[in-house]
Amino acid sequence: MQIADKLSRIDTSKVGGKVKYYRLLNKMSVAELSELTGVSRDNILQYEECANFCPPAFCAEVAKIFNIELDVLSDDFIVFLNSDYIAKINNEKGRTGLSYSQIAEKYGIAPAALLGWVKGKYAPSRASFRKYIMGNPLFYDAI
DSSP code string of 11-68: -TTSHHHHHHHHHHHTT--HHHHHHHH---HHHHHHHHH-SS---HHHHHHHHHHTT-
| First vs last C-alpha separation in the chain | 46
pLDDT band at 6 (very low <50, low <70, confident <90, very high): confident
What digits encode the pLDDT tens for the residues 9-46?
A: 888 888 899 999 999 999 999 999 999 999 999 999 99
d(Cα 40, Cα 127) in Å, to the nearest integer? 27
Structure confidence at residue 77 (pLDDT): 86
Nearest 5°: the CA angle 80, 126, 28 is: 70
What domains are defined for the chain? 3-80 (1.10.260.40), 84-133 (no CATH)
Cβ count within 10 A of residue 76: 13
Give the global pTM.
0.66
